Amino acid sequence: MHTTQPTTRHRRSLPVLLGASLAAATLTLGAGAIANAGPAPDRVEALDAPGLVGWATENGGTTGGAGGPTVTVTDEAGLADAVQQDGPAIVQVSGTINLSDMVRVGSDKTITGGGTITGNGFTLRESHNVIIQGLYFDDWDDDAINVETESTNVWIDHNTFGVGYDGAVDVKRGSDFVTISWNHVRGHDKTMLLGHSDDNGGQDIGHLRVTYHHNWFDGTEQRNPRVRFGNPVHVFNNYYASVGGYGVASTEDAGVLVEGNFFEDTDDPFHLGEGSSGPGTLVARDNHFVNSGEGEQGGSVAAIPYAYTLDPAAEVKSIVSAGAGAGNL
C-alpha cells in the first residue's frame, strides 16, 4: 500500500481559450489515496482542454469540439442538429432554448455559450470526447445531463443548475473518464447519481471513474454524489452548504476519496451504503467542517492516477462560491 499525494498544478481561476493550437477553428470562452487496486489505465498523451483536471485527462484526454467549426444555435431544432452532426464542433447556445425531449449529443462536441436550457436536457449515449461548459439548466422533466452507455472522456464544467425533476448530472451504464467541476447546483433534490442500479455491476465494475471538484452544492438534498461500483471516485475541494439529506454516499463496493471539502450546516456529510444498496469504501481526509457531522468512512480506495492541486479545505468556501457556476467562466 502507498499514498498518492497531489502534485502542484495551477488551479484555473481565469477564462481559458478552448482548442488546439493547430486547430482549424478555436473558441474563446469568457466572462491520494490508499492503493488497493491494480495499475492505473495507460495514459495516451493528448492535448486536454486548458483547465481540465481529473479523470477526463486520462484515456487520451478530452478536447471536445476543438478543431471543428463554431455554430450558434437559438432553438431546439438547431441545437439538436448541431450536436448530432458527425465530426467535431463547438456549439454556442444563445438565449433560452426550451427542449420538448432529451437531446442526444454525439462525440467530439463542445456545448457552451452562456445560454439557458429548460424543459429537458442532454443525453450522451456511447459518446466520446464531449465538453458541456458555461450553461444554465432549469426546470428539466428528466435529467439535465445524462451520461450513459459507455460514454467516455466527458467534462461538465462551470454550469448552473436550478431545480428539475430527476438528476442534475447522472453518470451510469459503464461510462468512464469523467470530470464534473466548478458547477453550482441550487436547491435541487437528486443531484449527481453515479451508477444507476445495484444489478448493473457486470457493466459498471472497472468503470464509472469520475472526479468531482470545486462544485457548490447549495441547499441540495442528496446524491452529491451517490456512488455505485466506481473506484477510485475522487470528490475534492467541493463546497457543501446546508445539504439537507446527505453529501456523499459510497455503495456497492465503490471506492470514494473525499478530500479537502468544506462542509457547512450539513448533518450527514458522507456515509457508507444508502437505501437498499450495500456499503462501499470511503477514505476522508483534510476536510473542513462547520456546524456539520463528522461523517462515516471505512476501508481503502484505489490510488488517484492524475496530478491535481488541493486547495486548503478552510479556503474552499470562498474559492468555490466566487468561482463556480456559468456566470464565472
* Residues assigned a catalytic role: 223
Tell me the helices (H) and strands (E) count for the chain, helix number first.
3, 29
Close Cβ partners of 300 (under 8 Å, ≥ 6 residues apart)? 1, 33, 34, 35, 36, 255, 281, 283
Per the structure block, which three cell numbers stand in for 24? 482549424
User: Residues 117-124: contacts with CB within 8 Å, 24+ apart?
Assistant: 117/93, 117/144, 121/145, 121/146, 121/164, 122/83, 122/146, 123/148, 124/148, 124/151, 124/154, 124/175
Partners of 227 in the β-ladder: 194, 250
Question: Three-state SS for 323?
Answer: helix
How far is C-alpha 259 from the geometric centre of its chain's CA atoms? 16
Alpha-carbon distance of 246 to 144, in angstroms, equals 21
Please choose, from the candidates 135, 121, 141, 315, the residue with its C-alpha nearest in 3D space to the C-alpha of residue 237.
Answer: 315
Whether 226 contacts 193, CB under 8 Å: yes
